[in-house]
Amino acid sequence: MSKTSSTQQDFALQAPGDSGSKINQHGLRGPHIPVEKFESSADKSDKTNPNVGHLYTKNLVKSYHKGKIEIPVLRGVDFTADEGRITSIIGQSGSGKSTLLHLMATLDAPDSGEIYFENNRIDNISSRARDKMRNRDFGMIFQFYHLLPEFSTLENVLTPLMISNGMWKYWSQRKKFRQRAEDLLKLVGLGHRLNHRSKELSGGEMQRVAIARALIADPKILLADEPTGNLDRKNGDEILDILRKLNRENNLTIVMVTHDNSIAEQADSVVRLCEGKVQTA
Amino acid sequence: MYKLVLCLRYLRTRYIALASIISVMLGVATMIVVNSVMSGFSHEMHTRLHGIMSDIVMESHGMNGFRHWEEHIKNVKEVIGDDIESITATVHVPAMLSINVRGQWLPRHVTLVGIDPDTYAKVSDFSKYLKHPENRSAVSFDLKENGYEAPTESPLFSAGWNHRREKAAYEKELRAQMKRFQVFEETGRYPNEIIISNQPTPVAPPQQPNPLRTVNHEEEVPIIPPHANDADAPPLPGAVPAELLINQEESPYDVANKGADRFSAARGTLKTKIYDPMHDQATGIILGIAIGSVRQRNAEGIVKDYFMVLPGDDVKLSFPTSSSPPQIASDTFTVVDFYESKMSEYDGAFAFIPLDRLQQLRGMIDPTEGTAVSTIQIKLKEGADLQAVVNKMRATFPPEVFPYRIQSWKDLQGPLLAAVEMEKTILNILLFLIIGVAGFGILATFYMIVVEKTKDIGILKSLGASGSGVMSIFLWYGFSLGIVGSGVGMIMGLLFVVNINRIAGVIEWITGKEVFDPTIYYFREIPTIISPVSIAWIVAGAMFIAVLASVLPALRAARLHPVEALRYE
Ligand SMILES: Nc1ncnc2c1ncn2[C@@H]1O[C@H](COP(=O)(O)OP(=O)(O)O)[C@@H](O)[C@H]1O
Ligand SMILES: [Mg+2]
């Protein structure tokens, strides 16, 4: 955990010349650089930890309580998201997909079972370490976009950096950060909407902003909860294209929750959740 | 970083929160105004209360005072000599002052104080409040020619020897007229000249054509009669020499020194001396200005002083002698000055005459035992501990042995000062409660904002914000609202205090009622003192309340479960 985060931390401080190969054409320097560059750059931390973005769960159990009634949601889920691949979780509404995703993102704690990220157990670590992981290792995308209404497009994208950097640190690097946010917004096709408020954007545009925000801290894994669930077909496809492109070009691990079979089919592997258990499809 | 940005953003977009701190703002402003006015008031009261008083008063319970006061002073100097700035002895006695107004004798109850002008001036600020500038540097009981400090239209401005001579001449002329009329009645012929015999006549009431002279001279009645400039007029035996009024049997000691004034004493021939108000003055007396004048509002609503007596006029005093049982001694005195401390309690209560004269009249001079005084007054050096010195003196003169009372000026004015302090404390508590109530307003508003921002809090947490980070957003929010509220409140309060008299004027103009009545308070303006320390306390208190009120909502925000917040649109 600490090793990986150290490689994550200094991405923004990297001078363009020094191992410049790490910054690709999108301004992204994911850990998932193309294979030949991965070999040539000979990054020690990447080599010692080959499971970049690898996430799996062991026998996860989670139930909710409504008063005295216990509502079991997950009854022993074993789920694996392989590094550099798109894994989709499919299941009926209420089958516990979101619950599983939240558990993996350390937003909630399971009743029992274990979650591993890059071979480190993450379901029992301190809340501080969890906050740090959510900030740096995980990118989250939600069905309802979840942008901050008080912020402009650009500020929304910059929020994770604002959270991880203190005032002085942020201020001293604000130009670099801003440039990166602009690049990411261009990448998702919103280069012209930098200063709009989120309520002035359409659903598809908002989801693009959310993707840019999820990418800004250069995560190792993207967790998307029905990213197209609230969008029309065309916008949904565009979003999926972006995600696929990110996976292809940056080798970014993606876990995508959906209830739509046709979308799920486009992933590298599909996991079906049914009655709180995994049915391999 | 996000904390600050979000905090500022919330500040800019949530005007309802700004509305909630208006009450804090108003609370701070009122507290500052009330504190400044109360401090100004109590400071003014302190200086005025202390003004004509010494720091420590040691008084004898007995009517005839200390016999061995010089020895006591020596003792005191031995005990607390290092702290003494100056020391004086006085005689205090209740007295009846009679002022002749329009031929009527107006009685006034006063506390008559016999002072040694030189040392008494060093012990208190008494001389600072005198109306004649020369008396301020060196108090004297001699009537001044003129030059009393007053507005030019005030009769006090032209008082003094001028006034005395004019009045004497006028009275003389009045008597001459009456005599002529008498002759005319008897003989049917109006005489050209009247020779007034030298035989004492009953005390002529100092007739004044318009005794209640006002500051406003619009309808001035000429005080100076047509023949007033008759300077060569022979001495008028109009007034009875003062010494004749004294009951000789009661004051057996003062025969030698008995005289109306130092001039007559110099002339020696006591009984044959003719007291001529044209040239002579009786013993000088300094009156509190409220004894000899009334401050009133005239028909136009302008506050004016109406003088019943002026420097140069004669008054009479009656007071008990020190014998047992006390007899009544009376004498005529010439008003030589007024003092105006602007404390109506003092300005209406005290009259000062020379100590030796009072001792003489009261029979406090014993050929064998020396003189007696009723109080010893001490002024301490700057920085001396008042209470400690009082305690030392009390130890030196234990009440079991000496029938004396030793009090500091604060003891003497204790109830009044305590009342003002009490008032201030209670007002502060009440006003701070108002700010506290405003704090609950903030709490409710913040809670609403946190509830409204539930989703945002969830988002922030999903992006890696810690609970304490989210909490500090709202704490900062409360803090900055506190800064804005108390800052604006402070500025408002200070502006109000600085312009308070103008504002009072505007209110007066609108309502037609006096906000701060100078006839009651003896202040021309509302006194204020801006104390940076108390303002700092008020502002800090208000900020503390604002932050405290935001703690609960902030805690809720910190504890919020992100999943609950994120699950629904
Ligand atoms: N806080 C909660 N309290 C009670 N039940 C809950 C709570 N959150 C989710 N559930 C229930 O858990 C089940 C799984 O929900 P969810 O993970 O959102 O399903 P999905 O995302 O697959 O639609 C649902 O039946 C839902 O009603
Ligand atoms: Mg769901």
Model confidence at B269: pLDDT above 60 = no
Q: What is the pLDDT of residue B258?
A: 44
Q: Calculate how far, in angstroms, residue B555's C-alpha sits from the geometric centre of ligand 2.
A: 28
Mean pLDDT of B527-543: 90
The residue type at B236: L
Q: CA-to-CA distance for A6 and A29, rounded, in angstroms?
A: 14
Closest CA to A55 of A131, A137, A112, A132: A137
Between B355 and A23, name the one with better pLDDT. B355
What residue of A is the nearest CA neighbor of B12? A150
H-type alpha helices, B124-191: 133-137, 161-187
Q: What is the pLDDT of residue A13?
A: 36
Q: What is the pLDDT of residue A44?
A: 36
A218 and chain B in contact, CB less than 8 A? no
DSSP percent split of chain A into helix, strand, coil, nearest 5: 40, 25, 35
Q: Is B423 helix (H, G, I), strand (E, B) or coil?
A: helix
Around A24, how many Cα atoms within 13 Å sit in the side-chain half-sphere?
Answer: 18
B403-446 per-position pLDDT tens digit: 888 888 878 777 877 888 888 889 889 888 888 888 888 888 88
Query: How many CB atoms neighbour CB B195 within 10 A?
Result: 8
Q: What is the pLDDT of residue B395?
A: 85
Q: CA-to-CA distance for A22 and A20, rounded, in angstroms?
A: 5
CA-nearest residue, atom 21 of ligand 1: A98
The residue type at A62: K
A153-184 per-position pLDDT tens digit: 999 999 999 999 888 888 899 899 999 999 99
Q: CA-to-CA distance for B388 and A169, rounded, in angstroms?
A: 59
What is the token pair recorded at B463?
């992006």
Closest CA to B206 of B270, B149, B275, B138: B275
A63 and chain B in contact, CB less than 8 A? no
pLDDT-derived band at B159, boundaries 50, 70, 90: confident
Eight-class DSSP state of B285: E
CA-nearest residue, atom 3 of ligand 1: A64
Contact A132 B464 (CB under 8 A): yes
Q: CA-to-CA distance for B469 and B455, rounded, in angstroms?
A: 16
Between B9 and B487, name the one with better pLDDT. B487
Q: CA-to-CA distance for A74 and A62, rounded, in angstroms?
A: 5
Residues 6 or more apart whose CB falls under 8 angstroms from that of B41 comprise B420, B527
The residue type at B26: L
B322-366 per-position pLDDT tens digit: 887 888 999 999 999 988 877 777 788 889 999 888 888 888 887
B11 and chain A in contact, CB less than 8 A? no
Q: Is A143 in the pocket of ligand 1 (CB under 6 A)?
A: no
CA-nearest residue, atom 4 of ligand 1: A64
What's the ipTM? 0.82
Q: What is the pLDDT of residue B419?
A: 85
Eight-class DSSP state of B374: S
Model confidence at B311: pLDDT above 90 = no
- Where does residue A67 fall: left (phi above 0), alpha (psi -120 to 50 degrees), or beta otherwise? left
Q: CA-to-CA distance for B175 and B329, rounded, in angstroms?
A: 29
Which segment of A127-131, B129-133, B228-232 scores lowest on mean pLDDT? B228-232
Q: What is the pLDDT of residue A29?
A: 41
- Contact present, B83 and B69 (Cβ < 8 Å): no
Which segment of A22-36, A248-262, B300-314 scores lowest on mean pLDDT? A22-36
Q: Which atom of ligand 1 is nearest to the CA of A97?
A: 22
Q: Is A72 in the pocket of ligand 1 (CB under 6 A)?
A: no
**Mean pLDDT over all residues of chain B?**
79
Q: CA-to-CA distance for B226 and B238, rounded, in angstroms?
A: 20
B561 and chain A in contact, CB less than 8 A? yes
Has this prediction a pTM greater than 0.90?
no
Q: Calculate how far, in angstroms, residue B460's C-alpha sits from the geometric centre of ligand 1.
A: 21
- Where does residue B342 fall: left (phi above 0), alpha (psi -120 to 50 degrees), or beta otherwise? left
Query: How many CB atoms neighbour CB A34 within 10 A?
Result: 14
Q: State how far residue A129 is from chain B, nearest Cα, in angstroms.
A: 10
- Alpha-carbon Rg for chain A, nearest whole angstrom, is 18
Q: What is the pLDDT of residue B57?
A: 85
Q: Which residues of B touch A174 (CB under 8 A)?
A: none
- Alpha-carbon Rg for chain B, nearest whole angstrom, is 34
Question: Ligand 1: which of B454, B567, B568, B569 to mutate, most ligand atoms within 8 Å of CB?
Answer: B567
